[in-house]
Amino acid sequence: MTPSTSAAATLGPDRRYSYAAVLGAVAVGLLAPGVATWLLAPVLLGGMVVLGVAHGACDQFVVPATHPTLVRSRSRYWAGFLVGYLGLAAAVGLLWWWQPAAAVALFFGLTAWHWGSGDAPTQARHRSQWLAHSLLRGTLLFAVPLWHWPTETLDIVRGLLALAGAANLPTTPGLLGIGLLPAVLAGLLLLWLSYYWQQQGQLARTDALETGLLLVLLVVLPPVLAAGVYFVFWHSLQHVLRMNQLMDRNPTAPRRSLWAEIRFFLRRSAPLLLISLAGLVVVFGLAWTRTASGPVLVSLALLAASVVTLPHALLVTLGMDAAQWKSRH
């Protein structure tokens, strides 16, 4: 790890911005549940562009920042990056065509891991704690909607399966959906106790606070809105702040304001962000001309996201999170 990445990992991004966004969305859901979708949708659409789509548009900078010895030749690196990134994306696309049910399972499983590990605390002393937190936090984000909003959650999965032409799901989540949440909560409780055992009480309290915030968000808002708020204003925003620390050549400088952080990131993500947005405009434009319904558009968005989730998640796990699983107890 380079000095800049070490300093960045020690400092860590400011998570209070995400806390505030979640609390604001929860307030809307509690005070105006009947119009929550109309109030939150414009904010989510804007955030999806500025943060959601953009947060993966700086993936090309992960390897240079975390493993600079692999980028001795700039042209060779870019060729390898494009071939590898697009090759993995194409492989996922072929899986959707060949085995759509497996592609759906891979997408949700990989998303759970990526959200859990990418947003895991960097202060955990042991690799086993980081791994446990990654799996439990990621599973929590899917277990709560499956338990509290079973019909709406399964409808999202059914929409993806229908779009890909795969077999449908049962009408109920079954024993797995019912027992998954208690198992995850029990696992988190044991994890927090292990933090206290390692004299990391502050980490345990912070993680319990975050778990409480996410539980409230996932219970108050229906799955599409809750997942949108989390993806845009928690996962994507925190990734942007982490990437800024990696890309910044002066990591000891005072923190910038949130808007300055976003501008810093958007300037570097602009080329790939514009290409991604152009592709999405074409896909959704074609769907719009065929009078696609709201659920179909949501399914299209998830399918498009799934194609790049694999290469993006690998870069985060193998690059940005390398210090979490390498050379640890």
- For 118, residues 6+ apart whose C-beta sits below 8 A from its C-beta are 235, 238, 239, 313, 316, 317, 320, 321
For residue 170, count other CB atoms closer than 10 A to its CB. Answer: 7
The response to whether 114 counts as a known ligand-binding position is yes
- Burial profile 247-269: b = 16 or more Cβ within 10 angstroms, e = fewer: bbeebeeeeeeeeebbebbbebb
**Helical axes 100-118 vs 127-148, angle rounded to 10°:** 120
Q: Does residue 76 sit in helix, strand or coil?
A: helix
The response to whether 235 counts as a known ligand-binding position is yes
- For 114, residues 6+ apart whose C-beta sits below 8 A from its C-beta are 138, 309, 312, 313, 316, 317
Q: Does residue 294 sit in helix, strand or coil?
A: helix
Report how far residue 200's alpha carbon sits from residue 124's, in angstroms, rounded to the nearest whole number.
Answer: 8
Contact 168, 100 (CB under 8 A): no
The response to whether 55 counts as a known ligand-binding position is yes
The response to whether 126 counts as a known ligand-binding position is no
Instruction: Give the annotated binding-site residues.
Output: 55, 114, 235, 239
Binding residues for Fe cation: 55, 114, 235, 239
